Amino acid sequence: MTSFTRDPAVLVLEDGTRHLGRAYGARGTTLGEVVFATGMTGYQETLTDPSYAGQIVLQTAPHIGNTGMNDEDPESRRIWVAGYIVRDPSRVVSNWRADESLDDALVRDGIVGVSGIDTRAVTRHIRSAGSMRGGVFSGDAAALDPEEQLRLVREAPAMAGRNLSAEVSVATVEVTPAAAGVERLGSLAVLDLGVKRATIDNLAARGFDVHVLPQSATIDDVRAIDPVAVFYSNGPGDPAASGDHVELLRAVLDDRLPFFGICFGNQLLGRALGLGTYKLPFGHRGINQPVLDKATGRVEITAQNHGFAVDAPIQGEFDSPHGYGRVEVSHVGLNDQVVEGLRALDIPAFSVQYHPEAAAGPHDANYLFDRFAAMVKENRAQA
């Protein structure tokens, strides 16, 4: 049973907009970038996705928490969102797999939330004005002077320019062996910028011995495991603030190691190739984002969470400014024509802006792990 309260809470946006509601989860103050996620299911996977670090997540689906939380579906070791905004939290947990309520999980991990506000109005405001800093104030903090609350919000760091990889990455190398019964391809170096469990499982299922490396890894650390390929994960923050990860990736490309990157990894491949990145007005978050695969003409419904994108020409081939040969945009977002994938034509490297592992679904893009394994086999055959 979810505990319900009428304790007040308030959401404050940096433009001075205020929304009064009820305390949900832990009590206190939390600050971050307010973003909205459009998935109608999969809230546990969203909450435990490290890509959401530093962000106060608003769920556009009105009813949240009815299936509770379980010990099988988390994507990482904890809840990472900076705060949580829902309209109607479920009063009862109604699923046989549930181990605890969502409210209890938020309290356990210290996540300050707010419920009972008009989430549709907040979403429409962000779509018009763009993502912005915000704060949730509950408990004693709810009674702070409104001007003091607004001051705290406006003094919080903006997402642009932030490097959050060290906050979410593993501290030491973790290894997941290739799944039993599949052809073993060799060691895969995964740079953990906020990797999800489902990603590791998908790579192991394709025959990789998955070595998850801390985000501080050097090219010598990568070479030490004699990898057959390198993978960059999803993760939070501004790709323009991840210069060390870009330099590492350039060394990987110089070694002609096959490379696959997703989400943040797509942005870092773009920067390694010499392209720029920019901040989107309100980003893409949810499990219903349509993407065109230019090679096949197929439209995929994808899971996404990103506030930045690669700046590249959508049509035709172009030369990498950093000398890695020809490149093309392989996938395009159909809602706003944002770059959703890159493919290098003269080196073994490609990336997508979305999440092909999509633990909560959809699974339209899961084939990309097979494409990666095929690229590694082809590269090995040509060596």
| Active site residue ranges | 263, 355, 357
Which H or E run includes 304? strand 298-311
Distance from C-alpha of 48 to C-alpha of 46, rounded to nearest angstrom = 6
CA atoms within 13 A on the CB side of 244: 12
Among residues 244, 188, 187, which one has the least CA distance to residue 217?
244
**Helix ranges, the chain (H):** 43-47, 102-108, 119-129, 146-155, 165-168, 197-205, 219-224, 243-254, 264-273, 367-382
Q: 216-235 burial string, b = 16+ CB within 10 Å, else e?
A: ebebebbeebebbbbbbbbb
SS3 301: strand
- The b-or-e profile of 198-215 (16+ CB within 10 A means b, else e) is bbbebbbebbbbbbbbbb
Separation of alpha carbons 183 and 75, rounded Å: 26
- Pairing between β-strand 229-232 and β-strand 186-191 as defined by DSSP bridges: parallel
Radius of gyration of the chain (CA): 21
